Structure 1
Amino acid sequence: MTHRPFIMVAPNGARRGKADHPALPLTTTEIVETARACKAAGADGLHLHVRDEAGAHSLDAGRYRETLDELARVVPGLRLQITTEAVGIYDVAQQLDCLEQVRPGWASIAVRETARDMELAPSVYAACAEMGCEVQHILYDTEDIATLKRWQAEGIVRPGQDSVLFVLGRYAVGQTSDPAELDPFLTDLPDAPSWMLCAFGPQEHACLAAAAKRGGNLRVGFENSLVAADGQPHPDNAASVAALCDLLERSTS
């Protein structure tokens, strides 16, 4: 493997809490400390979710700005991406409002969520283009790829907004993703100039190592998997990042 993948840690996501893993970071302080440890372990970037006072998923612009500022101060050099994930709470207008208020340098946007409001979909991508925000399209299956291709052809997605994240698996009891599940994505989108993979379940690292061998970048962390291949929980996000880096290094030796 000659490709050195970009490694982004997704340390918490929108759905999990302390009951799922005591080291899952929820507060700004916890997220920043996790980011520091993950950068030291080999992470190049961080996929950021913020939570409200009750620990629930939030797209609050103030919380985002506060956490982004603190991350930039403590872990300079770590690339920061915010999520616009709806999680059944937010509509497209609220997602767009979050983007316009935060004005992030990088954001993930789920194609299927944006498709809920086709009147606003063009505005989402136009706003990102205007503010210079890099877009990473979240793609859950080949139907999402077909939608993205159509939007690109129609000009809804702007030129240069071509980075994608392929998602293997879902939140489900007993979910185990398999590296072979990457094949349909690459078959339908073989020329993606920048693609990343995340995978749910105990085969997370195996899926990511397979993606690295095929030229992909990687997203790892407690948003997608709390456990190693043997089913044992990782001590924390940094331990998962370190284990992935070790696996990648061994696969090249």
Structure 2
Amino acid sequence: MVAPNGARRRKSDHAALPIASWELAATAAECHRLGAHRLHMHVRDQDGCHSLDAGLYREALAAVGAAAPGMGIQITTESAGIFDVAAQLACLESLRPSAASVSVREMARDRDLARRAYAVAAEAGTEVQHILYTPDCVAQLTRWYQDGTVPEDMRDAILVLGQYASGLEARPDMLPAFLAEIAPLELNWTLCAFGGAEHACLLAAIEAGGQVRIGFENSLGAQGAPPWVDNAASVAAFIEAAAARGHRLAPLDTDLRASS
């Protein structure tokens, strides 16, 4: 999965950061040609700020769908310190997307609305990927499986190494403890990693049996090296590094959830 922009970075951080719908579409098409299965989508308002606006999402979804037919698209409901749970719920209700990332930590701000959000996703057939940052997130998700807030079959998660806000850089040696925390839940897991060791962390994830999310949302370049020219350059370099370790890229028609 490619995460090409995120909620916070701007063109001032990297000129090739895709913001407009047509830029997202071009990035998606290029990365899909390289073998990326899915796009993790953030949209921005006219001022370039993170948005959960359904109209902006529909525009971007249409553009990416036309440019990269067959590529899966996952929207985000991330608050980024801007939106409350009601706004996140409204986004899911309005769009009823095929896939969405949903932060357990953010949903926990309003348990009643969280229950509604997961119910809406279940009714719409939305593939929910739980965002897990810390052991507290894992504990919360565990309680929600037990009390029925989260349906039992919503077993996809993305593990986050490193912290954008604090500048904590991800390291591969952070992964084993996280995997031990989630082991009882038997999740289909994906990894994303903030910082210059992104590729090293993602290689560790592959070798541990996980899926990976890569892109400018998490890292603009390798540690001690110039920034990647664009998202596609990062994807290409990672695929090459994985191949050098004997890993093969799954065909684009592979159901990765079934194979994880």
1:165-204 equivalences in 2 (<5 Å): 165-172=158-165, 175-190=168-183, 191-204=185-198
1:71-110 equivalences in 2 (<5 Å): 71-110=64-103
**Contact 1:197–1:219 at 8 Å: present in 2 too?**
yes
Structure 1 residue 142 displacement after superposition: 1.0
**Contact 2:163–2:169 at 8 Å: present in 1 too?**
no
Structure 1 residue 193 displacement after superposition: 3.6
Q: Cα RMSD between the aligned structures?
A: 1.2
DSSP-derived class of the 1:137 partner: strand
**Contact 2:158–2:190 at 8 Å: present in 1 too?**
yes
DSSP-derived class of the 1:243 partner: helix
Q: How many residues align?
A: 246
CA distance in 2, matches of 1:250, 1:203: 17
DSSP-derived class of the 1:119 partner: helix
From 114, 137, 141, the counterpart of 2:107: 114
Match of 1:234 in 2: 228
Q: Between the two structures, name the one with larger relative contact order (CA 8 Å, sep ≥ 6).
A: 1
Structure 1 residue 173 displacement after superposition: 6.9
TM (norm. structure 1) is 0.94
1:85-164 equivalences in 2 (<5 Å): 85-164=78-157
**Contact 1:111–1:137 at 8 Å: present in 2 too?**
yes
Match of 1:245 in 2: 239
Tell me which amino acid in the other structure corresponds to 1:154. Answer: D
CA distance in 1, matches of 2:66, 2:53: 20
Match of 2:201 in 1: 207
Identity %: 52
Match of 2:250 in 1: none
Stretch deviating more after TM superposition (185-194 or 30-39): 185-194
CA distance in 2, matches of 1:181, 1:109: 22
Q: Deviations 1:189-239 (Å, cap 9, x if unpaired)? A: 115341000001110000000000011000000000001133320000000
CA distance in 2, matches of 1:244, 1:112: 30
**Contact 1:145–1:189 at 8 Å: present in 2 too?**
yes
Structure 1 residue 104 displacement after superposition: 0.4
> Please, which runs of 5 or more residues in structure 1 have no aligned partner?
1-7
DSSP-derived class of the 2:179 partner: helix
**Contact 1:41–1:239 at 8 Å: present in 2 too?**
no
Stretch deviating more after TM superposition (69-78 or 98-107): 69-78
- Runs (4+) off by over 4 Å: none
**Contact 1:164–1:192 at 8 Å: present in 2 too?**
no
Tell me which amino acid in the other structure corresponds to 2:199. Answer: H
CA distance in 2, matches of 1:217, 1:230: 25
